[in-house]
Amino acid sequence: MNSCSVSLSRGLGFFILLLVLPASAAQRALPDFSRLVTTHATAVVNISVTRDLPRTAFSSEKAPSNDNSPRDFMRRNFDEDAEPADENSLGSGFIISPDGYIITCAHVVDNANEILVRLTDRREYSARLVGSDRRSDIALLKIESTGLPTIVIGDPDKLQVGEWVLAIGSPFGFDSSATAGIVSAKGRTLPNENYVSFIQTDVPINPGNSGGPLFNLRGEVVGVNSQIYSGTGGFMGVSFAIPIDAAMNIGAQLKREGKVRRGWLGVSLQDVSRALASAYGLNVPRGALVADVLPKSPAAKSDLRPGDIVLEYEGKVIDRSSNLPALVGLSMPGTHARFRVFRRDQGLQTVVVTLGELSEEPSKKVSPRKSRPENRFRFGLSLGELTNQQRRDLDIDHGASVIDVDEGFARGAGLRPGDVILEVDGKRVTDAVGLHRLLAHMRPGRPAVLRVRRGMATLFLALENGDRR
């Protein structure tokens, strides 16, 4: 073989090596979930729920669509004709104690007439609903058995974004299905879900997976698969799981008392924007800004004030306003909770609040009324005085009403028609003229902090102090 052939051969070999090495390295980097599934899937259960439906609901030859029903899935995809007398839906769950206590999602067993639990070895049990908590979407079931396999509890606080996780459940009734993905984000809140700080993943979750466990690579359960974000009803790459520590806390209360008691603080909160952080002198936006303190609430009986920025709760860092309600809700009423707050012009303070108990009664919302504009301010604000109707509806006795907002610093701050400006930099706004006076004395180079009533909510906005008009 001549030198040219040898060089060509070596060159091809090196090229092939370059192609092979990345693939093998990628293979070594991908986790193997087979042992995890073999070891821990026995503690995951399939849950079948029966609910009564009126006979008149079946007006056509085929039953209405129910995405959780395997019968409906088979009928729609394989032309299997069926007409059930009851609504059957499926979910998942997992065993937390050898004597048969099971965690699942509350929406899986909501309004159930009969709950049937099937294990991986095909044993079936009729389950009793011990308790259900809709706020957290957690329910506790009990089956009569002993010596059952159980899951291992992990620590969701140690989860890292980008870490591999595995879900086991019964999508469309296909028992013990395993799907994998990564943690996409932590501490997510969803509309009307103030008391759960979700784990977001890209693990494929479909109808029937709800209530099933989310595992880390050590085989520990770190979450309860609860819901998906979807525009089609099917999986679109965004799934949410309830952290297991919150689920176990709820489960323990349901077992002990049959209901859940939550701590209540009595404040409204908002995130700290970059402008507000600048106004407060914080180097980065962080924490939960106390926008309002409800009268006669636990917070009102403490030294916590509107305008305080909560940075820590019981030693846990508060990065966003959504972090705080979930932590307070998991605290028992009567807890002497320690808050680390940043107070404008006073710096860090420690405030202790004795938590009350959260009521189930929804708050009443009242829309503000517009008043007659009386003058236009150079920040682009059209202002007016409060009407007697506004004072009654909003339960306030001072402030200046925002009638209109033109282009300018006020619109940039987020002010809207209908807002009522209550304070400027902690100073009370008596009326529109008083607001003019306070804004005329804004500190140069530093935004003014406005306390604003918007409907029945109170919030803070930062009004830039620039070239006024």
Q: pTM here? A: 0.67
Residue ranges of the chain assigned to CATH 2.30.42.10: 263-357, 375-463
pLDDT the model gives residue 455:
81
336 noted as active-site residue: no
Residue ranges of the chain assigned to CATH 2.40.10.120: 38-142
C-alpha 233/C-alpha 231 separation (Å) is 6
**CATH superfamily of the domain spanning 152-257:** Trypsin-like serine proteases (2.40.10.10)
399 CB-contact burial (10 Å; exposed 0-12 / middle 13-18 / buried 19+) = buried
Domain 38-142: assigned CATH number: 2.40.10.120
C-alpha 338/C-alpha 354 separation (Å) is 9
The active-site residue out of 107, 110, 273, 303 is 107
Residue type at 97?
Answer: S
C-alpha 202/C-alpha 211 separation (Å) is 17
220-228 and 152-153 beta bridge pairing: parallel
Nearest Cα neighbor of 200 from 219, 227, 169 is 227
State CA 75 to chain mean position distance.
35
Q: DSSP assignment, residue 97?
A: S
State phi, psi for 124 to the nearest 5 degrees. Answer: -125, 140
The active-site residue out of 92, 184, 210, 321 is 210
Residue type at 383?
Answer: L
Query: Which residue has 């009403």 as its token pair?
Result: 401
Tell me the two tokens of residue 75. Answer: 């009928």
Q: How far is CA 35 from CA 3, 38, 44, 119, 169, in A?
A: 51, 5, 15, 19, 16
Furthest C-alpha separation in the chain: 103
By the 8 A CB rule, do 264 and 358 touch?
yes
C-alpha 110/C-alpha 133 separation (Å) is 10
Q: How many CB atoms lie within 10 A of CB 189?
A: 18
State phi, psi for 138 to the nearest 5 degrees. Answer: -120, 135
Q: How many CB atoms lie within 10 A of CB 448?
A: 22
126 noted as active-site residue: no
C-alpha 273/C-alpha 276 separation (Å) is 5
Among 2.60.120.260, 2.30.42.10, 2.40.160.150, 3.90.1300.10, name the CATH number for the domain at 375-463. 2.30.42.10
Nearest Cα neighbor of 166 from 38, 54, 56 is 38
By the 8 A CB rule, do 92 and 209 touch?
yes
Burial pattern 150-167, b for ≥16 Cβ within 10 A else e, equals bbeebebeebeeeebbbb
C-alpha 90/C-alpha 80 separation (Å) is 19
Tell me the two tokens of residue 167. Answer: 């879900």
Q: How many CB atoms lie within 10 A of CB 264?
A: 20
Residue ranges of the chain assigned to CATH 2.40.10.10: 152-257
For domain 263-357, the question of CATH label 3.40.50.10170 is answered with no
Q: How far is CA 184 from CA 143, 213, 320, 370, in A?
A: 34, 17, 17, 43
Q: DSSP assignment, residue 170?
A: -
Low-confidence ranges of the chain (pLDDT < 50): 3-21, 26, 54-85, 361-376, 467-469
User: Residue 132: in which H helix or E strand, if any?
Assistant: strand 128-133
467 noted as active-site residue: no
Alpha helices in 31-190 (DSSP H): 34-40, 70-78, 106-109
Tell me the two tokens of residue 76. Answer: 């729609």
Alpha helices in 132-266 (DSSP H): 244-257
pLDDT the model gives residue 466:
57
The active-site residue out of 48, 132, 136, 137 is 137
Residue 174: partners with Cβ closer than 8 Å, 6 or more residues away: 70, 208
